[in-house]
Amino acid sequence: MSDSKRKSQGSDNKRKKKYRSDGTPIWGKRHIDGPGVWVSCVKGKEKQTIGEIYEIFESISSDIWPHQDSADHSSSDEATADAELSLEDQIAKEVSAMKRPRAENTAKQRFVNCQTNTPCVVFISCKPPVDPVELVVKYIKNVQETGVTRTRYVHRLVPVSGTCVANLPEIQALCKKVLTDFLDKHPNTKFKYKIELRVRNHTTIPRPTLIQNIAACVPEGHVVDLENPEIFILVEVFKSICGVSVVEGYYQLHKFNVAEIAKRNDQASESRLHSPPAKEQIP
Going by C-alpha positions, the residue among 235, 204, 240 that lies closest to residue 116 is 240
* 92 inside domain: no
DSSP 16-76: --EE-TTS-EE----SS-SSEEEEEE-TT-HHHHHHHHHHHHHHHHHHHSPPPTHHHHHHH
- Distance (Å, whole) CA 131 – CA 61: 9
Backbone angles phi, psi at 111, to 5 degrees: -130, 135
Segment 146-151 mean pLDDT = 93
* 183 inside domain: yes
Segment 248-277 mean pLDDT = 79
Paired with 109 in beta bridges are none
Segment 15-35 mean pLDDT = 60
| Number of domains making up the chain | 1
We report the CATH number of the domain holding residue 233 as 3.30.2130.30
pLDDT, tens digit (0-9, with 9 covering 90-100), for 189-240:
999 999 999 999 999 999 999 999 999 999 999 999 999 999 999 999 999 9
* 143 inside domain: yes
Q: For 222-226, which contacts have Cβ atoms below 8 Å and span 24 or more sequence positions? A: 222/190, 222/191, 222/192, 222/193, 223/190, 223/192, 223/193, 224/192, 224/193, 224/194, 224/195, 225/192, 225/193, 225/194, 226/194
* 77 inside domain: no
- Distance (Å, whole) CA 214 – CA 233: 9
Segment 41-57 mean pLDDT = 97
Q: What is the structure's pLDDT at 150?
A: 94
* 209 inside domain: yes
* 84 inside domain: no
- Distance (Å, whole) CA 240 – CA 59: 32
- Domain range for 206: 36-63+107-272
Cα 216 to chain center, whole Å? 24
The C-alpha angle 279, 281, 283, rounded to 5 degrees, equals: 165
DSSP 170-205: HHHHHHHHHHHHHHTTSTT---EEEEEEEEES--SS
pLDDT at 100 over 70: no
* 115 inside domain: yes
Taking every pair of Cα atoms in the chain, the longest distance, rounded to a whole number of angstroms, is: 107
End-to-end, the C-alpha distance of the chain in Å comes to 107
| Mean per-residue pLDDT of the chain | 83
Backbone angles phi, psi at 25, to 5 degrees: -75, 150
127 band by pLDDT with thresholds 50, 70 and 90? very high
pLDDT, tens digit (0-9, with 9 covering 90-100), for 237-252:
999 999 999 999 999 9
What percentage of residues in the chain have a pLDDT greater than 90? 64
Q: What is the structure's pLDDT at 75?
A: 45
Q: What is the structure's pLDDT at 82?
A: 58
- Distance (Å, whole) CA 217 – CA 98: 51
* 122 inside domain: yes
262 band by pLDDT with thresholds 50, 70 and 90? confident
Q: What is the structure's pLDDT at 19?
A: 56
